[in-house]
């Protein structure tokens, strides 16, 4: 059963689903081109990023307008964003949780402003809307409008196996990673070792592969004053067991120890540690607990949460949401496929060229030529611009959550559950 589910998930995951792998011939290209011309689809594939002024007012669930918005629609004129301040997710432990259904029906209509806490882990949720240059062009999708979307990585949805697929064979990314670094040009020649210990397992230089899927893939014994690193990574959550994972550094051979730096990546967050002292014996860094598929972390050294800039958005901060809407396949009377919830943020723009359509969304008659369209979608990607509608999206069928700061009759912070 597990093998069958894994195979199914791999086939329908956005990384793989309906992605043509076989080469195409010149004849296939000519036949596809002829089909588009004969059936009035040529203009439909002349596409661009959608802007706020493109969106029909009826499809807007929330709008936070500024003096730059060209289409007045709704409730949020004059609302000013809060000053950006870096936060840690732990600050929001215990806050009110609401389902997306209750939020959309009862809470959002009363809000005069929404801000979204952009966590590092939401990078794969980044999404942008696209449309045809000619609004009257013939729809090419399974729904009755010519709007579509692309998630980060040029996917139709947030991939649950994207990291594994895109980094196959690599050990930097994983569901849980522990890395240490020392001897960065300071003459330190000590032999430090990264350890991960559980009740039934111990990963270190003497046992590099653990029973729960962990792997020590780098082991340095003599840095000789040069930069040295060790790395333990867990690639697959399904192999891991609910237990306590203790991460620490051991001084195997103290030659002229001058400390170390460490990094733990879990839940999409990067925690950085610095131990500037002589290492004697074991130095505990952090304890990670896995329970019911959810990680929590206890720090034993002082830490900072590393922020980053993605699509023009600084992580670990709140950002103003300009627009909330459903995915185009649920606009109007449409009810096709999975529903997505889009939170389009102020200043958010893709930083790479994006696909303007995906094969799995095309109408049945177009799918006859899907191998050609798969190539066309790649070669006709849209270059980034500052006017596109972009933000984060959530698939209604994928378990997820996001922290929102709401303004209205009273201010509140909630965790929205999908």
pLDDT tens digits along 162-199: 333 333 333 566 789 888 888 766 677 788 999 999 99
Bridge-based pairing state of the strands 317-326 and 340-345 = antiparallel
Would you say the pTM of this structure is higher than 0.75? no
pLDDT at residue 68, as a whole number: 43
DSSP letters, 187-243, are ----EEEEEEE-SS-EEBTTB-B-TTSEEEEE--S--TTS-EEEEEEE--GGG--SS
All structural domains of the chain, each given as residue ranges with its CATH number in brackets, are 2-152+311-417 (no CATH), 176-305 (2.60.60.30)
Token pair recorded at residue 395: 């698939």
- pLDDT for 131: 94
Close Cβ partners of 102 (under 8 Å, ≥ 6 residues apart): none
Distance CA 99, CA 212 (A): 33
Note the pLDDT tens digit of each residue in 370-397: 888 888 888 889 998 888 999 999 999 8
C-beta separation of 345 from 319 below 8 A: yes
pLDDT band at 305 (very low <50, low <70, confident <90, very high): low
pLDDT digits (tens, 9 = 90+) for 8-60: 555 555 544 445 555 778 888 899 889 889 989 899 899 999 988 888 777 77
The count of C-alpha atoms lying within 13 angstroms of the C-alpha of 140, restricted to the half-sphere facing its C-beta, is 31
């Amino acid at each position: 059963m597990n093998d069958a589910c894994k195979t199914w998930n791999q086939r329908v995951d956005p990384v793989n689903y309906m992605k043509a792998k076989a080469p195409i011939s010149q004849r296939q290209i000519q036949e596809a081109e002829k089909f588009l011309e004969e059936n009035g689809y040529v203009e439909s594939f002349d596409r661009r990023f959608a802007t706020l002024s493109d969106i029909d007012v009826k499809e807007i669930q929330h709008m936070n307008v500024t003096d730059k918005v060209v289409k007045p629609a709704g409730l949020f004129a004059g609302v000013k964003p809060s000053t950006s301040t870096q936060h840690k997710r732990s600050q929001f432990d215990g806050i009110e949780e609401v389902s997306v259904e209750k939020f959309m029906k009862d809470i959002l209509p009363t809000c005069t402003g929404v801000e979204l806490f952009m966590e590092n882990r939401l990078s794969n949720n980044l999404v942008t809307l696209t449309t045809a240059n000619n609004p009257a062009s013939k729809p090419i999708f399974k729904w009755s409008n010519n709007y579509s979307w692309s998630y980060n990585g040029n996917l139709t949805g947030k991939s649950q196996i994207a990291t594994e697929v895109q980094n196959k064979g690599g050990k930097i990314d994983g569901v849980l990673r522990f890395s240490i670094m020392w001897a960065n040009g300071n003459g330190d020649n000590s032999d430090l070792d990264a350890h991960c210990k559980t009740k039934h397992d111990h990963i270190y230089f003497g046992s590099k592969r653990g029973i729960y899927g962990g792997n020590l893939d780098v082991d340095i014994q003599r840095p000789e004053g040069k930069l040295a690193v060790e790395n333990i990574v867990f690639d697959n959550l399904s192999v891991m067991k609910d237990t306590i994972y203790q991460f620490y550094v051991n001084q195997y051979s103290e030659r002229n120890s001058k400390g170390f730096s460490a990094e733990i990546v879990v839940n999409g967050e990067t925690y950085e540690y610095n131990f500037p002292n002589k290492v004697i014996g074991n130095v505990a860094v952090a304890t990670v607990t896995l329970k019911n598929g959810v990680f929590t972390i206890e720090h034993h050294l002082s830490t900072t949460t590393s922020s980053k800039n993605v699509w023009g958005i600084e992580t670990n901060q709140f950002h103003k949401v300009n627009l909330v809407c459903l995915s185009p396949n649920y606009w109007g009377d449409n009810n096709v496929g999975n529903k997505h919830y889009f939170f389009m943020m102020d200043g958010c723009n893709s930083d790479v060229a994006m696909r303007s359509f995906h094969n799995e969304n095309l109408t049945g008659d177009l799918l006859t030529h899907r191998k050609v369209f798969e190539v066309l979608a790649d070669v006709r990607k849209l270059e980034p611009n500052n006017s596109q509608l972009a933000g984060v999206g959530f698939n209604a069928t994928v378990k997820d959550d996001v922290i929102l700061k709401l303004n209205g009759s009273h201010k509140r912070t909630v965790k929205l559950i999908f």
